[in-house]
Structure 1
Amino acid sequence: YVVVDEAQNIKNDAAKQTQAIKKLNARHKIALTGTPVENRLSELWSIMEFLNPGYLGSGTDFRKNFAIPIERYRDSNRAESLKRLVQPFVLRRLKTDKTIIADLPDKMEMKVFCNLTQEQASLYEAVVQEMLAKIEESEGIERKGLVLSTLLKLKQVCNHPTQFVADGSALPGRSGKLARLEEMLEEALEEGDKALIFTQFAEMGTLLRQHLQETLGREVFFLHGGTPKKQRDIMVQRFQEDRRGAPLFILSLKAGGVGLNLTAANHVFHFDRWWNPAVENQATDRAFRIGQKKNVQVHKFVCIGTLEERIDQMIEQKKELAESIVGSGENWLTEMSTAQLKELFALSREAVGE
């Protein structure tokens, strides 16, 4: 037997790690993963190539027959064909299935709609005007890069002006999201609850930690890609075991989204959105897993009237396809026409709070 846990780590067929694992000989091979597809269907192909070499054809054949039709053209017939091919080899187990785990509490997911401040709205408009002018004049790889850069900048503006400008200025009163987060965390702390706060930006995590410690008067942990393993293990142990210890744990999505057991928390906040349901669910599952004794409340922050709300709506529409076999990264957004991007980035009147 060869059993590969966290099998999404062999999703890149060209990686040395993947190549080494595929050289292991065994009559029986098992791959365990919560996210067989995070961004591209080629990841599913790579895992299947480990399990049953050649079953889904070569990488080139797979791209032509499945990846391009499904990812680029949303071909539901091809998606259904692929699902039929892989289903005999997939044993899917959901934690929400009471026959699998009888005593796991409920998970309640909710959107938290936030307004922008006047300052955020001004910055947002300036970024849109500047970047659309550049996108209109570019093409190919350069255009894709500019679209992704625009997404990044607008996400930063929606989080906080200080993150976008990177000038170290004061945080209070300048971000609708931050004000809402403070209110909700105060309520959770009054109930004696603990919370995880996910952000994809390490710099935002640093700002949040300092600000929340000052305003809430409680110790706050922050785990990011540069956190040494020994320090990470101490933080996790203290968060899990110490009732009087830090009740709030900020995690960078990529560093803290997998492999951690943080069931002491029963609130999960996605401060900014990674527009990929598989990655967000993996992060939520740090708290919603075996050992959790309370119902878990998942709060997904969305700035109303901005690209955050529109992309959230688009993902909801695509979720059926995504949940069958497809993961949604951000690259599909780079294929949009300039007219579609204008509509996507436009700031609606309801975006700004009173």
Structure 2
Amino acid sequence: MKISIERGALLKAVAQAQSVVERRNTIPILANVLIEAEGSDVRFRATDLDIEVVDRAPAQVERAGGTTVSAVTLHEIVRKLPDGALVTLADDGASGRLSVTAGRSHFSLATLPKEDFPVMASSEYTANFAAPAPVLRRLFDKSKFAISTEETRYYLNGVYMHVAEGEEGRVLRCVATDGHRLARIDAALPEGAEEMPGVIVPRKTVGELRKLLDDDEAQIAVSVSETKVRFATPDITLTSKVIDGTFPDYARVIPQGNTRRLEVDAADFAKAVDRVATVSSERSRAVKMQMEDDRLVLSVNAPDSGAAEEELAVAYQDERLEIGFNAKYLLEIASQVDRENAVFLFNSSGDPTLMREGDDASAIYVVMPMRV
């Protein structure tokens, strides 16, 4: 194999590949990226056996072929090469080495046989549809903060993507929860997604998917089966196993009868919570909210380090209420609000609180209170 490729295109492809590779590997080949050159482009394939990413880049292919080389090492070399450099990758197949040349720089890297590289088995997908990148970005960005990190409840370690009944018909919905907070985000149901099985997309896959969704003009081809999910652009294909488990009935924890309504400027609220939480060394410190007559008082009392209090002008007409929340959870939920105002709906100081963006019901959040 011998190819010449522009440094920028190579860096983009190798960066995507090396982020999928697991750093601590007992199987050496999994630390490598498979490079395959054919026609006028080159494919870079990386996997950790649960996720596989294939990135295509245009290149001058002098000699078709393929090899595998350490993804992290190749990425570090390309990252340090000067902008605009033309990089030549050459492998004669006999020496077990890949030479990387750019200008006066020359590297020789150990390779492993491409035949040993595991390729994820293709799946029969039951649903295939396309969705604009900004739609998928909103669904996953607004829900991923609530993914659980608790390994024992593995079925919560991802975002549950499924078709659900919304207020105005069927919607494509993403839900994540860790038992303390919940995010439920809806989008219009794309054509072809009607028969999609509900799948739990793992946390790592959600992180890798984010890199495909930066282009606002891109249409993402989505394919879903009971065991796998695939997201593809013309250049990158990301295939992932889904979490083999049953997502809990999240509808039961979304409160329906919360009537006490607080409306507050989302940015001002987030900054105020951040300020009062500063006095506490514990990020999980409770922030107390006291509401009465269009006033909200946020306070933190940390006996070991001090106390803080801040007052905000809000819209609140119901009876006086005191309620406490984990400061970190409040900040993460407030930071999801794209609109100017956040609306909180309370029942009592011991019941879950509902939060949404203004009157928009397509994104709702639930957070459990803390004793204060």
Q: TM-score, normalised by structure 2?
A: 0.23
Rg larger for: 2
Indicate the structure whose relative CO is greater, using CA pairs within 8 Å and at least 6 residues apart: 1
Higher strand share: 2
